[in-house]
Amino acid sequence: MAVVETKALAYTYPGGNKPSLRDVSLTIEKGEFVILTGPSGCGKTTLCRCFNGLIPHFYGGELKGDLRVAGLRVSEHQIYEMAKRVGLVFQNPENQLFALSVEKDVAFGLENLGMQREEMKERVDWALQMTGIEELRERAPHELSGGQQQRVAIASVLAMQPEIMIFDEPTSFLDPLGAQKIFEVINDLKNKLEVTVVLVEHRLDLASKYANHVIIMDEGKVVLDGAPREIFNSETAWLLGVGVPKAVRLWRLLQENGMVLEGVPVSSEEATRFLREILKQ
């Protein structure tokens, strides 16, 4: 069952001189972990904003083409309706936290939805537990590290129990260890809750191993769409200047020098494993 379906999606920001999206057609199935990537300016952030209705409702302008997310046609539903099914976590952790305590921030969405206090309390507890930040519940956002803040942002989106969660470059401001932690949290959520995940990222070295579907965009169009290993190993990905994982790069270099290799590793662990197999012979 498709959670996201788009056909010939096109969009130009009001006042923009060229389209940010031109003819985007893709399908995302339930339970997938999608990595959406591409060079800066390719339209991936714009696409994310379409998924929860910020485009066209918040940004204005006309969204052409067809877009269904979680069964709803985005142009026909208000953002707050979409918010119940689509969660969006943004790049800057600081600008997603408004309240003076973590608890209150996590409850924010639920308060907006008018949920009763008892149920809200349970949800907040649950979301804090799922993201591993229960001990931070009474802290003020300003006291937290970037990684902790981002986990609060994730918890506050998670609390609304969306079908699909979208993460727009969530680790930009974090160091590699912090980034790893966030990817682990996201993967954990996907496994435990069967929520569909769309992760926009440049740091493919760290994130690729979790994905089972990769979409690469360039200049407002989808250029590559399929299984991670094929995509990363392709010539096109290389030419686009996407940060193909080092493991894949090594693999390609070895192949270019005449080695015959099977499979494509997308993480350092896999590369080690594959190499060990070969070396044993």
The answer to whether 199 and 45 have CB atoms below 8 angstroms apart is: no
Report angle CA 267, 170, 54 to the nearest 5 degrees. 130
Q: Cα separation of 53 and 171, whole Å?
A: 23
Non-local CB neighbours of 18 within 8 Å, separated by 6+ positions: 12
One character per residue 60-99, x = contact with another protein (rule: CB under 8 A): ------------------xxxx-xx--xx-xxx-xxxxxx
Q: Which is nearer to another protein, 25 or 246 (CB)?
A: 246
Give min distance, CB of 8 to another protein, in A.
Answer: 25
DSSP sequence for 251-273: HHHHHHTT----S---SHHHHHH
Question: Which residues, 115 to 174, sit near another protein by CB under 8 A?
Answer: 115-117, 120-121, 124, 140-142, 145-146, 153, 156-157, 160, 169, 172-174
Give min distance, CB of 95 to another protein, in A.
Answer: 4
Give min distance, CB of 231 to another protein, in A.
Answer: 15
Regarding 202 and contact with another protein (CB under 8 A), the answer is yes
Q: Cα separation of 120 and 248, whole Å?
A: 45
Give min distance, CB of 119 to another protein, in A.
Answer: 10
Among 74, 107, 128, 154, binds another protein (CB under 8 A): 107
Question: Which residues, 169 to 188, sit near another protein by CB under 8 A?
Answer: 169, 172-178, 180
Question: Which residues, 217 to 246, sit near another protein by CB under 8 A?
Answer: 241-246
Q: Cα separation of 133 and 232, whole Å?
A: 34
